Every structure is written in C-alpha cells, then in structure tokens.
Amino acid sequence: MPIRMCAVCRNRMEKRELYRIVETEGEIRLDKDGKAQCRGLYVCADCLPLAEKKRVLERAFRRKVSRDIYLKILTDAGA
C-alpha cells in the first residue's frame, strides 16, 4: 500500500488510513474514492478537526477557505 503524509501532523501512514481533500472546478471537497485527477492533500482522522486551526487548506490551495467548507468536510468524513 502506498505511504502518504498527513498535511497537519506530518506523520506518514498508509493511504487507506487518510482522508483526501481535493479542489476540483473551484470547489474544495472530500475525495471519497481517492481517485480524482486534481490537486489534493491527505489528512488523518485525528487531525481533521485541527485542519482549520492550522489553515492547511489555505496553504495547499493558495486561497481563502470559509468555515463552511471545513464543516462540510468534517460532516462528509463522519467526524
């Protein structure tokens, strides 16, 4: 299994243990199947609530990300 790094805590884990967040057509969303052909990052389940505080989506996608987007990602992930 491929190894990926969590964008928040920087720990390396297997790809299946992480959530992939992508930006497609100007929309930031959770990539549930992990196969979207676009820019993305990985976040572990423990760090999903910390992603907003650390502003990882703003840095990765180089744009302002509203609180609603973070809440939608948390809801989609079931966290």
Average pLDDT over residues 57-76: 93
- What pLDDT was estimated at residue 79? 60
Element at 3 (helix H, strand E): strand 3-5
Residue scoring higher pLDDT (78 or 18): 18
Q: Domain extents for the chain?
A: 3-77
- What pLDDT was estimated at residue 43? 96
- What pLDDT was estimated at residue 1? 83
pLDDT 10s digits, 24-64: 888 999 998 878 888 899 999 999 999 999 999 999 999 99
Fold of 3-77: Hypothetical Cytosolic Protein; Chain: A; (3.30.1230)
